[in-house]
Structure 1
């Protein structure tokens, strides 16, 4: 244990360059393990819960890297957070009421070609944001859309009107 303490240096911010490099290697490997535990979705199509966990994990690992927090306790606390995140993800699959509390509900922005301006304002979606999302789905205007929804991950999904028979 004393050898490891020599390798990673003190937790008071006075670690040498070599010790910070050793910390970086350890944190890189630990970070990969933590991401594998948390699951892919944590760092991809993020919900608010996922974003908070990602920010705290990054912050904790950064503080452990620079010696602003004790190395092993910071890693232990970060691991606990990742495990709790994974547990809550599993619980939200079982209990829909918890999923509603932990995740945002999808919001309809356009239904049958009619924009819901109040919903757009409530969620900070401007006209340009909506039109961009429509264009990405090859729809030119809201009238070309059967349904456009602000999803839990912040993306706007679009279901275009079906075109008539050719």
Structure 2
């Protein structure tokens, strides 16, 4: 039985190019399949927010996660430790997200940010617009996306959300 396991591990190592100086095209292809399956499993162990349109907190994980896993495919880093590092990143994201949920007014705001007011009772908040590089054209687009004619005077509140989206609350029609 031990001999069978030893042979199986040698076949896996050869298929993945573990211990070799350079990888063949077929070893990279096999690595790509293994990394793809491992990435799906790891992301499923994380939470559903990871690759949605969310905060910088979520986007940073996506960038680093992709970078780490690409190294496993190309052989620029050791294969199994790289897969473990990707797993650790997703678990870290999940733990920080849970901590942010339970400390929403403190740690949660540091990690995920806050929405910022851009229009208040029809008045543009120019300092906040400038601070977050939001133009009048950006606000007009957001108003159009609500199905309304772009008229700042009809906007009760407009925010740049944590995701970077602009949300609009129109004033009540009289």
Q: The TM-score by the shorter chain falls in which range? A: over 0.9
- Hey, which bits of structure 1, 4+ residues long, moved more than 3 A? 10-13
Aligned equivalent of 2:156: 146
After superposition, the Cα gap between the structure-2 partners of 1:61 and 1:146, relative to the gap in structure 1 and judged at 3 Å, is same
- Displacement of 1:153 in angstroms is 0.7
> How does the TM-score come out when normalised to structure 1?
0.93
The structure with the largest alpha-carbon Rg is 2
Give me the whole-angstrom Cα distance separating, in 1, the residues matched to 2:124 and 2:19.
55
Q: How many residues are paired up?
A: 164
Give me the whole-angstrom Cα distance separating, in 1, the residues matched to 2:19 and 2:118.
50
Q: Which stretches in structure 2 are left out of the alignment for 5+ residues?
A: 1-8
Aligned equivalent of 1:59: 67
Please give the root-mean-square deviation of Cα atoms over the aligned residues, in Å. 1.4
Aligned equivalent of 1:114: 123
Give me the whole-angstrom Cα distance separating, in 1, the residues matched to 2:80 and 2:10.
13
> How does the TM-score come out when normalised to structure 2?
0.89
Q: Does 1:125 align with 2:134?
A: yes
- Displacement of 1:45 in angstroms is 2.2
Give me the whole-angstrom Cα distance separating, in 2, the residues matched to 1:38 and 1:82.
6
Paired residues of 2:13 and 2:19 also in contact (CA < 8 A): no
Q: Which stretches in structure 1 are left out of the alignment for 5+ residues?
A: none
Alignment partner of 1:76 out of 79, 84, 108: 84
After superposition, the Cα gap between the structure-2 partners of 1:12 and 1:108, relative to the gap in structure 1 and judged at 3 Å, is farther
Paired residues of 1:11 and 1:69 also in contact (CA < 8 A): no
After superposition, the Cα gap between the structure-2 partners of 1:60 and 1:13, relative to the gap in structure 1 and judged at 3 Å, is farther
Give me the whole-angstrom Cα distance separating, in 1, the residues matched to 2:38 and 2:171.
48
Give me the whole-angstrom Cα distance separating, in 2, the residues matched to 1:27 and 1:2.
19
After superposition, the Cα gap between the structure-2 partners of 1:159 and 1:53, relative to the gap in structure 1 and judged at 3 Å, is same
